[in-house]
Copies of this chain bind each other. A is one copy, B any other.
Amino acid sequence: MAAGPGEKHTAAQAASGRLVREFGQLLRATTRLEQRINAALREECGISHVMFEVLIRLCRDPAEQVSQRTLAEDLVLTSGGITRLVDRMEEAGTVRRRPSPSDRRVTLVEATPKGERTLLAAARVHAGILERYVTGPLTGEEYRGFTTALDRINTALRTGPA
């Protein structure tokens, strides 16, 4: 068998590994956080969390023209998913579609005034929750380490496509 030192032979061993446990922590933390934010935003601002992320992306640079494809990549959604998400947001009046003047295949998306107002209100709610559950419990240094770690993981994920 020539098992290396890290080999797991029983299910119990495999289920107790450090990496497994710690990745579980990552997943749980983010899903719980997202659930809280989602619930709060729905209740207080009438939008879902993913809609909030769309508005963030659209308003980040008001001069930028954002296509649905860009939106899909930045939010980690498929193009079909974006089509339907923008449908719902357009219906809600927070966002508007506009054909691209330079390429008739692409449709651009922009926030409406109502969308901008909603974003402003939602940002406050969002910040409140994050301060309570993320920046609050962490020291400044811990938080800084946390975000640089995330940064590295994200680049590794984007640059290592295989």
Q: A1 in the interface, Cβ–Cβ < 8 Å?
A: no
Is B12's CB under 8 angstroms from A61's CB? yes
Produce 1/0 per residue, A97-112, CB < 8 A to B. Answer: 0000000000000010
Main secondary structure on chain A at its contact with chain B? helix
Is B154's CB under 8 angstroms from A25's CB? yes
Q: A137 in the interface, Cβ–Cβ < 8 Å?
A: yes
Q: A42 in the interface, Cβ–Cβ < 8 Å?
A: no
Is B156's CB under 8 angstroms from A137's CB? yes
**Interface set of A (CB-CB < 8 Å, partner B):** 8-12, 14-17, 19-20, 22-36, 53, 55-62, 76, 111, 115-116, 119-120, 123-124, 126-127, 130-138, 142-143, 145-158, 160
